[in-house]
Amino acid sequence: MLNRYMQAAMRHAHYEWLPNDKIYYGKISGLQGVYATGDTLEACREELAEVLEEWLFFRISKNMPIPVIDGIELAIKEVA
């Protein structure tokens, strides 16, 4: 489920070239704080995927809500 969520989130990524800084910038709309930069588009994508993973683990560890993406919900359930 986590992998499906990450793949869906990455499909919502937007990238742009910042000519003044000569880097690529990427972000995932709707996921505050999930952004990255890189010297190449591929490096930016890889960094963005790592940031997304860390963002998810942090929110899960703090029992914070995670937005539904493409109908995929990561619900935190208490186990007895």
Whether the CB-CB separation of 56 and 67 falls below 8 Å is answered with no
pTM score over 0.85:
yes
Q: So where are the chain's domains? A: 2-61
CB atoms closer than 10 angstroms to residue 26: 23
For the stretch 9-46, pLDDT in tens is 999 999 999 999 999 999 999 999 999 999 999 999 99
pLDDT for residue 77: 73
Query: d(Cα 80, Cα 2) in Å, to the nearest integer?
Result: 22
Mean of all residue pLDDT scores within the chain: 94
pLDDT for residue 80: 66
Which is nearest to 9 in space by CA: 32, 37, 25, 28? 28
For the chain, the straight-line distance linking the first and the last C-alpha, in angstroms and rounded, comes to: 21
For the stretch 51-70, pLDDT in tens is 999 999 999 999 899 999 99
The domain 2-61 having CATH identifier 3.30.160.250: the answer here is: yes
Beta strand 13-18 with 35-38 is unpaired
pLDDT for residue 62: 92
